[in-house]
Amino acid sequence: MLGLFDKSHKIKGTVVLMPKNVLDVNELNSVRSGGVGGVVSGLFGAVADVTGQVVDTATAILSRNVSFKLISATSTDAKGNGKVGKETYLEKHLPTLPTLGDRRDAYGIHFEWDANFGIPGAIYIRNYTYDEFFLVSVTLEDIPNQGTIHFVCNSWVYNFKDYDKKDRIFFANKTYLPSATPGPLVKYREEELEILRGNGTGERKEHERIYDYDVYNDLGNPDKDVKLARPVLGGSSTYPYPRRVRTGRKATKKDPKSERPASELYMPRDEKFGHLKSSDFLTYGIKSLSQTLLPSLENIFDSDLTWNEFDSFEEVRDLYEGGIKVPTDVLSDISPIPVFKEIFRSDGESVLQFPPPHVVQVSKSAWMTDDEFAREMIAGVNPNVIRLLKEIPPQSKLDPTLYGDQSSTISKEHLEINMGGVTVEEALNGQRLFILDYHDAFMPYLTRINALPTAKAYATRTILFLKDDGTLKPLAIELSKPHPSGDNLGAESKVVLPADQGVESTIWLLAKAHVIVNDSGYHQLMSHWLNTHAVTEPFIIATNRRLSVLHPIYKLLYPHYRDTININGLARNALINAGGIIEESFLPGRYSLEMSSAVYKNWVFTDQALPADLIKRGLAVEDPSAPHGLRLVIEDYPYAVDGLEIWDAIKTWVHEYVSLYYPTDDAIKKDSELQEWWKEAVEKGHGDLKDKPWWPKMQTRQELIQSCSTIIWIASALHAAVNFGQYPYGGFILNRPTLSRRWIPEPGTKEYDEMVKSPQTAYLRTITPKRQTIIDLTVIEILSRHASDEIYLGERDNPNWTSDSKALESFKKFGSKLAEIEGKITARNNDSNKKNRYGPVQLPYTLLLPTSEEGLTFRGIPNSISI
C-alpha cells in the first residue's frame, strides 16, 4: 500500500486558532484608563474595529510567520529520535465553519511527506509574530494507512524567543502508557514534561507554562497595613494547607515569608481563561466588585450610618421586588460593567434590584418554618455536614487542657418535649436523632471573632428528629460562648427550644439565625472553598508535572481541571484575601482562612467519595441488597439519593476507562509516570498530610479507579452541589444570613424590650446589615451562574480528545447514563410523597441535574470547578 506513495507528496492539513486581540478580558485591568467606565467603553469600541479586520489582518500576519514541522512516531533520525520534517507555513484562511465557535479561524496548510518519514506523531510549531495566539487544533488528512490524525492543542503559543528560541510541541491524540510510547517519541514526551516542571526558581513570567508548588503566603498585605497581615497557610503543623501554584513573587518588606500582592497573578498560561466568554465576564465582575463596588458602598456607609440598616422584612424583599435606592454615583460606577447589567436590574438612576431568589419565588414566608430550616440541611446548599447522633449529650473533641469542659448541656428532657412520646433511647436505637454540629469548628476562634468590631456569635449545636413522614424536626439549639474569664475555663451555653408564640418564638427564630450564620461561614470556607477549590489544585499541578498529555489518566482527568487554577488565583486576589469580600461579609472575618486550615487538619481524601462520606457521618450503612450497596438512614435525602447515582455513573465510567489500559495491578505498579504523579500529589501537593495512613498506595487498579473517581466527583458533582444553590437559597439574606451582630437579648435590657415590641427589628439588627448584604448577594449571584460555554459532566470540548474508539464508546455510555439519571431525578421531584425534595418553600432539589442552560438555573454539573 505504501508503495503508491514512495515519492514525496503533500499532506493536507487544517489549523484552527484564535489570534490575540483586545477582547482578552484578563488584560483589562492592565490597560485601565479613566476608571471602569473608560475600560468598558474602550473595550466595546474596540470590538467593532477589530471584528471587521480580524480575518484579513490575521491572515496577512500569520501566513508566513507561523511554521510547522511534522515529527515521526515510526521513523528515527541518527540519534534514535523521531524524524523531523521540513518546515512549512500557514496558508490561506478557510471559510469559517459553524462548528468552530466564536472567534476561531481555520487556515489551510500542506506538509511534504514520503513513505520513509512514517506516521506523524507530533508537530513542532514556531510563532515568529510579536503576539501570542491560541492554538485550538491541527488536523492532518489522507495520511496513507492512517486516514485522519487529530492534534488537540488548546494552548497559547508565544513568540519563539520566549521559549529560548525553541519550538512548541504538540502530540497527536493517541494514548500511550510510558512503557508503550513509540521509541521515536520517548525523548519528546520526557522533554515536554521537564518544561512543564521548570526548575523551581525565579519569578514566573506570563508566557510560561510551569507548574510548581507553593504555600498560601499571598493572602495578606502587611506592607499596606499591619492589620492586613495573615499567617502563611501550608508548610507547618500549626497551619497545614493544600498547595497552590507557585508564582515566585518577591517577599513583602515586613514579612519575608509572605509574597507581595499583585494585580495579576501568574498562572500557567493555558490555565487562564481564553478569549471573551461569559466566564470572563463573571470573573471580571468579581474583580470589579472588589475594586469598585466595595469602596463605593464604604463611602455611603461613612456618610450615612442609618443607610446600612434594613428597617423591615419588606425592605429586604425590596431588593428583588421594587429595588432599593442607592446614591447615583454608585450605580454610575458599576453599571458599565457588563456582568452587573445582568445582576442588577437597574431602574432609572438610583435603584438597585436583584433577581428574585428561588427560595421565595413561591412563598415569601415559608423560609421561616422549622420544616424548611431542617430540610435545607439535607437538600440545601450545604447538605453534607449533618450527621447521625449516637449519644446524648453530644461530646466535644476539643482539648480540655486548652478549652476546658466543652460538654453539651442538652439533656434528654430538652428533647423529649417535642418527640411525640418517643424516648431518647428509642430514637437513638432507631437512628432517628441527628445533629448539625459547629461547636468544635467555631469555639476555638470565638473569643477572637467576637472581639471584631461588629461580631457577636455563638458556636452552635442543633438536634433534629426524624419524623414518621421522613422529614426532620428541630428539637433544640445549643448556643455556646467561651467563658468570659478565659477559653480554658470551658463554655457558657444556653439551650433554646422551639416555640411559635410570643417572645419565645422570636428567640427561637434568632437561635435559628445564629445556626445559619455558623452554617453559612462553614459552607463558604470549608464545604465550598477548602473541600473543592483548594484540595483540587494540588492534583492539577501534579497531573501537569508528571503525566504526559499522551497518558490515559491525563486524558481522563484533564477536563475536570478546566479553569480551576484561574478561579483559585482570582479568589486569592479578591475573595479570600486579607480585607477581601469573604472577610468582609462572612462571620469569621479575618480568621476565615485560618479556620479552614484547622478543618484541613482532619481532611481525609478517601472520605471525599460520597459513599464513604455518608457512612462516616452515619447517614448510610453498607447493605449489598440496597441500591448502590448502601441503605440511607434518611431515605428521602435528596443530595444523597441523587448524588449516589452520579457517583456510581462516574465510577463505572472510570472503571471501564482504566481497564482499557491497565489489565492487571502489576501494570499500575510499573507505570513510572503514574507512580511519580501520585507520589508528588501526596508528598508535595498535600504535603502537610503526607504521612496520614489513609492515603491510597496506588498499587492496584482499584486504588486508581477509586482515587480518580474521587477527584472527578470533587471537581464536578460535589462542587455543583455546594456552589450553584448559593444564590437560590442565600440570595434571600433573611434565609441565610452571613453575619451575627448581637447575641440573644437578656431580659431587662433595651435590646430585649425592642425584641418584644418589634421582632423584625430585633432579627434585622442581629443579622447581616445592608452593605454586607449587597456585597454578599452580588458575589453569590455571580458564583451561582453558569457560563455560556460551560462544559458539563459527560461532555468534552473536542470530540477528538482521544483516538481510542473503545474509550469513546465507553464515554458515550457515560453520557447516556447521565441523561437517564436526569430523568429519574425529575421524576423524584414530581413525587409528592417525597416531602424533602421540595419542602415548604416548594423548591424542587435540582442541583444534581447534570445539564443546564446559561445563567442562574439552580441546576447543572460542570466538569470542573470553573467558577
d(CA 316, CA 312): 7
d(CA 479, CA 163): 60
827 contacts 804 by C-beta, under 8 angstroms: no
d(CA 152, CA 136): 7
Instruction: Write the DSSP symbol of residue 487.
Output: G
CA distances from 854 to 196, 199, 455, 784, 858 (A): 34, 41, 37, 11, 11
Backbone angles phi, psi at 829, to 5 degrees: -70, -20
DSSP codes, 584-607: HHSTTGGGHHHHHHHHHTT--GGG
Buried b (16+ CB within 10 A) or exposed e, 766-792: bbbbbbbbbbbbbbbbbbbbbbebbbb
d(CA 216, CA 235): 9
136 contacts 104 by C-beta, under 8 angstroms: yes
CA distances from 40 to 21, 338, 349, 827, 834 (A): 15, 8, 19, 45, 48
Q: Are strands 491-496 and 433-437 parallel, antiparallel or unpaired?
A: unpaired
**Cβ atoms within 10 Å of 345's Cβ, excluding its own:** 13
- DSSP-derived 3-state class of residue 267: coil
d(CA 541, CA 681): 8
Asked if residue 295 has a cis previous peptide bond (ω within 30° of 0), the answer is no
Interacting residues of 480 by C-beta distance below 8 A, sequence separation 6+: 406, 439, 443, 458, 459, 460, 461, 491, 492, 493
Could you list the active site residues?
528, 533, 719, 723, 867
Give me 808's grid cell.
469513546
Nearest Cα residue to 722 out of 384, 435, 241, 375: 384
d(CA 78, CA 93): 37
